Amino acid sequence: MLKRMDKLRRSSLLAIVALGIIIVSAQPVEAQWQNLKGRFALHANVAFQAGSYEFRQLFNKRIYGEDANLSAEHKIRGGAILDLGGSVNVWEDLAVGGAYTDFKKADITYIVGSVPHPILFDSDRILNVDAQTFPHRERAGHIYVSWRLPTDQWSIRQLQEMDISVFGGPSYFSLTQGLVADIGLVEATGPPFSEVSVAPVSIGEYSKSGWGGHVGADFTYMFTSTIGVGAVLRFSKGTVDIPSSDGIVSISVGGFQSGAGIRLKF
């Protein structure tokens, strides 16, 4: 059944593309260009994704007849992102478009917990381990509908000279994330067994995807009819589920993004 549905989707997509080619091809080339001229816009931004993200992996082990409660605390901070995309005007001030963002930042992870004593009952020892570095990368495709605001009547003259649009739509996130696969314990010293350490951490790297959404605003100032500069504000949000040692861990992706770059229209 699923295979049939996939074939149907592909067949429908091919039919739509073929119909579009036939319709466009039926028009003279000059007429095609006149209809599309001035409707396309491209952007390239260097931006910053703000905020911080934290999630936890739990590891419950039975050691010396008692429970050892261990966890890996993951912390991802904000950082620079690349933002590329474009749009086409479809009707008056309405446009549709897409953007691609790439965010890569180290995940600083701390392994913490308590470990039972090998001789004394109910005498847990606190475990502290130096921070570990794990990979974290978010790549997202954003599909949006945008509406250009009428700025010619605004009281601020500088804003009258700008193209200001608001946009929003769905986002598809692809996440690459490093996780702790297992935590091994080693007695650091002999009697009185006051210290315990962690063996080299076993690391697993996963790539999963998930849906979310975004909203934002774009501010563009054109030096000429084809080239200009602009700024973008976008808030995107999504969740990606990744298999972990304690089941499924849900990781938040996206965040508040602000940046600036080049604008092209043709």
Q: Are 195 and 176 in contact (CB under 8 A)?
A: no
Q: Are 70 and 50 in contact (CB under 8 A)?
A: no
Q: Are 254 and 237 in contact (CB under 8 A)?
A: yes
* Residues 54 and 24 grouped into a single domain: no
* Residues 15 and 84 grouped into a single domain: no
Which residue has better confidence, 189 or 66?
A: 66
* Residues 142 and 251 grouped into a single domain: yes
Q: Are 199 and 182 in contact (CB under 8 A)?
A: no
* Residues 86 and 10 grouped into a single domain: no
At residue 254, the pLDDT reads 95
Q: What is the pTM of this model?
A: 0.78
Average pLDDT, rounded, for the chain: 84
Q: pLDDT digit string (tens) for 165-220?
A: 999 999 999 999 999 988 888 887 778 887 887 887 778 889 999 999 999 999 99
Q: Supply 148's token pair.
A: 């250009």
* Residues 8 and 108 grouped into a single domain: no
Q: Give me the CATH number covering residue 163.
A: 2.40.160.20
At residue 215, the pLDDT reads 98
* Residues 204 and 98 grouped into a single domain: yes
- Residues 6 or more apart whose CB falls under 8 angstroms from that of 84 comprise 43, 44, 45, 99, 100, 101
Q: Looking at the 3D structure of the chain, how many domains does it have?
A: 2
* Residues 249 and 180 grouped into a single domain: yes
What domain range is 178 assigned to?
Answer: 39-265
* Residues 2 and 74 grouped into a single domain: no
* Residues 112 and 244 grouped into a single domain: yes
* Residues 174 and 251 grouped into a single domain: yes
* Residues 23 and 73 grouped into a single domain: no
At residue 181, the pLDDT reads 87
> Is the confidence at residue 25, as pLDDT, over 80?
no
* Residues 259 and 228 grouped into a single domain: yes
